[in-house]
Amino acid sequence: MWREPLEPFISWLKCGQCEHIFTEGYFTDAALDVLFGDTQRRQVVGTDMELQRNTSAKMVERVVNTLGLPDGRLWLDVGFGNGSLLMTANEFGFDVFGVDLRENNVADIGNYGIPAYHGTLGRAVQNVAFKSKPSVISMADVVEHEPFPRDVLRCARSLINEPGLLLISMPNASAPLWGYLNAINQNAYWREIKHYHNFTRQKIYAELQKAGFRPVNYAVSERYRCCMEILAEPA
């Protein structure tokens, strides 16, 4: 996704105390306009709909098995991308609402009868009159894109209903597969232009707890390589 005038290099740093890995800086709003000016095919609403439905169904099933039947509960998906998770959650019986930084995606998901907001979760909280507090907030492969992830986790905590569930997924920098990909110089996440953080399972658990969540389930995510999927409830 790199293009001029974006910086051609990513510099990764490691905290000397907790060993968390993060980039030395983050994009300005102007740079983000360049970055999100084009949408990758896999992020286009409706892409590979049937295949993505099967992947999303496993995610929704884990939520239902933990939280119970939808019963009209609201599912808020932040960074909904191709829209598969929203569509599948709606199929299961959830009321759904999406938030995404890509204006085209917000328009396109509306063609499927799904309401959405163009912007960040923080701005959605300020500008959207939700009918009820969301019982499920999903941020699938979103938190590692946030310059200050604790802020967005705390924002989700302030919004979520109780009982409720937060669903997040991201690469797992503590997985043996991660170390193997590093060893053979095939770890593509070091050049992922949209990522600011590489979380270990232990580090993201700690961040969830600081934000007011309690992790209750861990699974291997099928969305992308070497990723983890975590369910957490309000503590």
Helix (H, G, I), strand (E, B) or coil at 159: helix
| Model confidence pLDDT, tens digit, residues 48-74 | 899 999 999 999 999 999 999 998 899
Percentage helix, strand, coil for the chain under 3-state DSSP, each rounded to 5: 40, 20, 40
- Please give the domain boundaries of the chain with CATH numbers for all domains: 42-179+202-234 (3.40.50.150)
How long a stretch of residues is the chain? 235
Q: Using CA atoms in the order 212, 117, 169, 138, what is the torsion angle rounded to 10 degrees?
A: 60
Burial 69-81 (b: 16+ CB within 10 A, else e): ebeebbbbbbbbb
Which residues lie closer than 8 Å to 160 by C-beta, 6 or more apart?
133, 134, 135, 137, 166, 234
| Model confidence pLDDT, tens digit, residues 141-190 | 999 999 999 999 999 999 999 999 999 999 999 999 999 999 999 999 99
In angstroms, rounded to a whole number, what is the distance separating the alpha carbons of residues 136 and 67?
9
* H helices present in the chain, as ranges: 29-35, 49-67, 84-92, 103-110, 121-127, 149-159, 176-183, 201-210
| Model confidence pLDDT, tens digit, residues 78-97 | 999 999 999 999 999 999 99
Neighbours of 3 (CB within 10 A): 10
| Local confidence band at 39 (pLDDT 50, 70, 90 cut-offs) | low
In angstroms, rounded to a whole number, what is the distance separating the alpha carbons of residues 158 and 154?
6
| Local confidence band at 35 (pLDDT 50, 70, 90 cut-offs) | confident
Helix (H, G, I), strand (E, B) or coil at 87: helix
pLDDT of residue 36: 77
